[in-house]
Amino acid sequence: MSFDLVLFGGTGDLAWRKLMPALFQAFRHGTLPAEGRITGVARDDMSHEQYRTLIQSRFNSVEGAKRPSDEEFQRFAALLHYVRLDASKAEDFQRLRNHLEERNADTVVMYVATAPGLFTTVCEQLATAGLNTPKTRIVLEKPLGHDLASNRAINQTVRKAFNENQIFRIDHYLGKPSVQNLFALRFGNALFEPMWRREHIANIQITISEDLGVEKRGAFYENTGALRDMVQNHALQLLCAVGMEPPINAHADAIRDEKLKVLRSLKPWTSETLTHHVVRGQYSAGAVGGTAVPGYRAEFGVDPQSHTETFVALRTEIANWRWAGVPFYIRTGKRLAGRDAHIEVNFRPMPHAIFANTGNTANRLVINLQPKDGLELHLMAEGQGTRSGSAGQTLVPVQLDLDFDKRFGAERVGAYERLLLDVLDGRLNLFVRSDEQEAAWRWVEPILNHWKNDTVGPRLYAAGTWGPSASSAMIARDGFCWSEEC
Ligand code: BG6
């Protein structure tokens, strides 16, 4: 299969940090279809050769084993081309069209990795230039809008030019091997499914913590914040993967239908829950890994009075037969104590204790997403006999620990590599449908509105901690605790 991959934003951050390295890995692994061409598109005036040199220089910041040797890069570079394009100029899209017609590839992928403000312009221009043919697929990066109305407007424009099955909305969390494993755990094994419900599960916690700050993205982040950046998409997609019903098959729409049902079942917000079940925070100066770091308001591009949240913790429920009454907690933030994403499934305690010290014992399944990819099943075992001299046995906690990186090797297909190959293959399973996206925006919007009217602003937390204490207080009110506190 021959393909033409056009990368709008071809000199941008995403292109060189994520997309080019992922395309190179696919090339190296021999999974990129052989007859391919990758065309970077941006406003700068550059020759193909200059573009190749630019990409090569950027590869220097790619971590060791993933960096190409000079010889490998020369072979990869043969795929790279460049077209100068100003998204506001119809004639530039004609030039792109001429470039694509030179080759007439079987599949054309338009990857829009530009500032979100350009999504609709690019789609309209593609349609005007006749570049929305049936063999074309369009890939859109998040954020797709900043609220429900803007999301809908973008989706409407895109759908005027392309059919839904040509539109690939990326949520890179869905491409992570650990998230694939979550689907495998739930729907490739019969063991957990009977337990996966309110009768056996006390609560579920989803944590996506980052130790990095906003880096150089202060200006972007100021208008985004953690709720739009992480909760509306990545965290809710994880919640769907944990909470959805088993789909009838593994086809894209069967999976997306079930995820959509979860999003539609999320308990609607009330003024009471908006006040008590959502905590927003912002990091102040502190230390991460022993190094002093500035507070958010001192970051480049950030308003010194900013109310933008860099942390969110919330409690919700999926109001259906399987999950009624089970709290789902989501927590995400920047400049927290470490880089750690995991889902914790806390089972209900034993109904009756026959051993000493096991009254409240509850089993726990931890799905580690990153940096480790694996599963921990926390159980109780008889450890040291009865040496303590106490009457009856004393049990101790132990865990079954499955490390997928060790089991399958650390050289697994990365999220963007996987997703790009899926686009080339036309597989939509791991991409978000417009109705899912709208349902997610509909659910987060009351929180955004609530904050708009709240003049107090986010609670400060010192960089390098687990966020404001209100986050612990919120979960403690239900009688639970975050894993690091229990
Ligand atoms: C992106 C957010 O979608 O996800 C970033 O815009 C965040 O702010 C990133 O840092 C986290 O992704 P990962 O794969 O590093 O967990």
Structure tokens at 108: 């054309």
Expressed in angstroms and rounded, the spacing between residue 180 Cα and the centre of ligand 1 is 18
In the chain, the percentage of residues whose pLDDT exceeds 70 is 97
Mean pLDDT for the stretch of residues 6-13:
94
210 lines ligand 1 (CB under 6 A): yes
Q: Which residue has the tokens 């970051």?
A: 299
Expressed in angstroms and rounded, the spacing between residue 464 Cα and the centre of ligand 1 is 18
Residue 165 covered by a domain: no
Same domain? For 210 and 136 the reply is no
Residue 308 covered by a domain: yes
Measured CA to CA, the distance from residue 213 to residue 302 in angstroms comes to 12
Same domain? For 89 and 180 the reply is no
The backbone torsions φ and ψ at residue 6, rounded to the nearest 5 degrees and listed phi first, read -105, 125
Same domain? For 293 and 440 the reply is yes
Same domain? For 75 and 119 the reply is yes
CA 415 to ligand 1: nearest atom: 14
Expressed in angstroms and rounded, the spacing between residue 234 Cα and the centre of ligand 1 is 9
Q: In DSSP terms, which residues pair with 368 in a beta bridge?
A: 342, 374
Reported as a pLDDT band with limits 50, 70 and 90, residue 252 is: very high
What residue owns the CA closest to ligand 1's atom 5?
229
Read off the pLDDT of residues 298-328 as tens digits, 9 standing for 90 and up: 999 999 999 999 999 999 999 999 999 999 9
On whether the CB atoms of residues 155 and 438 are closer than 8 A, the answer is yes
**CB hemisphere CA count around 120 (13 angstroms):** 12
Same domain? For 356 and 229 the reply is yes
Read off the pLDDT of residues 123-168 as tens digits, 9 standing for 90 and up: 999 999 999 999 999 999 988 999 999 999 999 999 999 999 999 9
CA 176 to ligand 1: nearest atom: 14
Residue 379 covered by a domain: yes
Expressed in angstroms and rounded, the spacing between residue 286 Cα and the centre of ligand 1 is 21
Mean pLDDT for the stretch of residues 39-61:
94
Structure tokens at 133: 């043919």
Residue 417 covered by a domain: no
Provide the domain count of the chain: 2
Residue 160 covered by a domain: no
| Model pLDDT, residue 164 | 95
Expressed in angstroms and rounded, the spacing between residue 63 Cα and the centre of ligand 1 is 18
Measured CA to CA, the distance from residue 247 to residue 253 in angstroms comes to 9
Residue 396 covered by a domain: yes
Q: In DSSP terms, which residues pair with 38 in a beta bridge?
A: 5, 80
Q: Which residues contact 29 (CB under 8 A, 6 or more apart)?
A: 413, 417
219 residue type, one letter: A
Domain boundary among 119, 141, 163: 141
Q: Which residue has the tokens 């480790």?
A: 372
Mean pLDDT for the stretch of residues 377-386:
79
What residue owns the CA closest to ligand 1's atom 2?
229
Q: Among residues 81, 99, 172, 234, which one is catalytic? A: 234
Is the pLDDT at 391 greater than 60? The verdict is: no
Same domain? For 309 and 185 the reply is yes
CA 224 to ligand 1: nearest atom: 6
Catalytic site includes residue 234 = yes
CA 229 to ligand 1: nearest atom: 6
Expressed in angstroms and rounded, the spacing between residue 17 Cα and the centre of ligand 1 is 12
Compute and round to an integer the Cα radius of gyration of the chain. Answer: 24
Same domain? For 454 and 336 the reply is yes
Domain boundary among 141, 166, 195: 141
Reported as a pLDDT band with limits 50, 70 and 90, residue 410 is: low
Expressed in angstroms and rounded, the spacing between residue 305 Cα and the centre of ligand 1 is 24
Phi-psi region of 47 (alpha: psi -120 to 50; beta: other; left: phi over 0): beta
Alpha helices in 12-161 (DSSP H): 13-14, 20-28, 48-59, 70-77, 90-101, 119-128, 148-161
Same domain? For 345 and 472 the reply is yes
CA 212 to ligand 1: nearest atom: 10
Reported as a pLDDT band with limits 50, 70 and 90, residue 486 is: confident
Write the CATH number for 313: 3.30.360.10
| Model pLDDT, residue 283 | 98
Is the pLDDT at 225 greater than 90? The verdict is: yes
Residue 136: CB atoms within 10 A of its CB come to: 18
Same domain? For 181 and 83 the reply is no
Residue 293 covered by a domain: yes
User: Which domain does 404 fall in, by range?
Assistant: 174-412+433-485
Mutational test site, ligand 1, from 229, 312, 373, 416, max ligand atoms within 8 Å of CB: 229
Measured CA to CA, the distance from residue 15 to residue 55 in angstroms comes to 9
Expressed in angstroms and rounded, the spacing between residue 334 Cα and the centre of ligand 1 is 10
Read off the pLDDT of residues 427-477 as tens digits, 9 standing for 90 and up: 999 999 999 999 999 999 999 999 999 989 999 999 999 999 999 999 999
Residue 146 covered by a domain: no
Same domain? For 192 and 136 the reply is no
**Residue 482 three-state SS:** coil
Q: Provide the mean pLDDT of the chain.
A: 94
**Residue 219 three-state SS:** helix
Write the CATH number for 137: 3.40.50.720
pTM, two decimal places: 0.95
In the chain, the percentage of residues whose pLDDT exceeds 90 is 84
CA 339 to ligand 1: nearest atom: 16
Q: Order of strands, edge to edge, in the sheet holding 80-84?
A: 80-84, 36-42, 3-8, 107-112, 136-140, 167-169
Domain boundary among 98, 125, 141: 141
229 lines ligand 1 (CB under 6 A): yes
What's the maximum distance between 2 C-alpha atoms anywhere in the chain?
86
What residue owns the CA closest to ligand 1's atom 13?
173
Same domain? For 99 and 225 the reply is no
Same domain? For 44 and 101 the reply is yes
